[in-house]
Amino acid sequence: MKLVKKLYTELRLKEKQRLIKLIKDKFELELSKELSLDRVSAPLVVTKDSGLQDDLSGVERTVSFDVLKDGRDLEIVQSLAKWKRQALKKYDYKAGEGLYTDMTAIRRDDKMDETHSIYVDQWDWEKVILSCDRTEAYLQDTVRKIVKAISTTSKMIKQQTPAGVEMCDDVYFITSQELLDLYPTLSAKEREYEITKKHKTVFISKIGDKLSHGEPHDMRAPDYDDWSLDGDLLVYHEVLDMALELSSMGIRVDESSLIQQLIKSHKEERESLPYHQAIIKKELPLTIGGGIGQSRLCMFLLGRGHIGEVQSSYWDKETLQQCEELGIELL
């Protein structure tokens, strides 16, 4: 852990909890205002055979169990990327309208370090768009609105505590291929670090498809984001001297991009699942959406050195010992 001690401001546990609540309340208001979103309730579990589970990068194991009454297999959601699109249809949302929800999940295969936990909490959001909105310009405009919501929240927190961090709201946009061309000898994470340290707030787009060196910048499931219209929002987290991902988002697949991406990832068998058939038959609305990490955002805006300072989770002995040695108090 590269904690920069001179930039780390101590916060008492009670004060931290108060500030976390302020951040979440303020950001929700700003996000819903900027993107015209309503708050809705969302499921914690989905059936295994529904096709609604988010496979993330495609290798993570889900947390599953069977129900006593009927024996059906259920899985704790890994994100709500697919459920939200169905919800927009069910609730009869129109173009320009959308929803957001508090999503909590268990990702058993996530590593445990200063920015990762097996417990995931994020704002999952989704918005109906028109066919003409499926453009890079619309994606970038949406990113700027999210950044504005974060920036407004950061200014409020900065007034509340000396630990507060003000966000740079000037977003630097770059594609994953352009980033590789810029730093051809570095790994994907090293490239993210260099570009984010330089520009502070960065959106790396077009993630999922193979780049010129034969590998994708990062793995993406083939059936929610359109790989040509997606990306990650990163900020430079000074207290840890690192690039911190706050959000993964994108314009969702239509029938054409879904089939193409299933073929590229050798997942053609998914075409027969109910969710995928609904997209192919154009029964679901065109949408844009994503997830914004709640604990990640609090960690960044409060200048924290470990995600365990802003969420209660499970930590191994090595993590507990390392934090104690650094004077980091976990919740």
pLDDT tens-digit readout, 14-65: 999 999 999 999 999 999 999 999 999 988 888 877 767 766 655 677 788 8
| pLDDT score of 63 | 80
Between CA 22 and CA 6 the distance in angstroms is 25
pLDDT tens-digit readout, 251-308: 999 999 999 999 999 999 989 988 899 999 999 999 999 999 999 999 999 999 999 9
pLDDT at 125 over 80: yes
| Average pLDDT along the chain | 92
| pLDDT score of 67 | 79
Domain limits, the chain: 5-326
Fold of the domain built from segment(s) 5-326: BirA Bifunctional Protein; domain 2 (3.30.930)
Mention every residue, 6+ apart, whose C-beta is less than 8 A from residue 63: 75, 76, 106, 108
Indicate which residues carry an active-site annotation. Answer: 54, 107, 122, 232, 245, 248
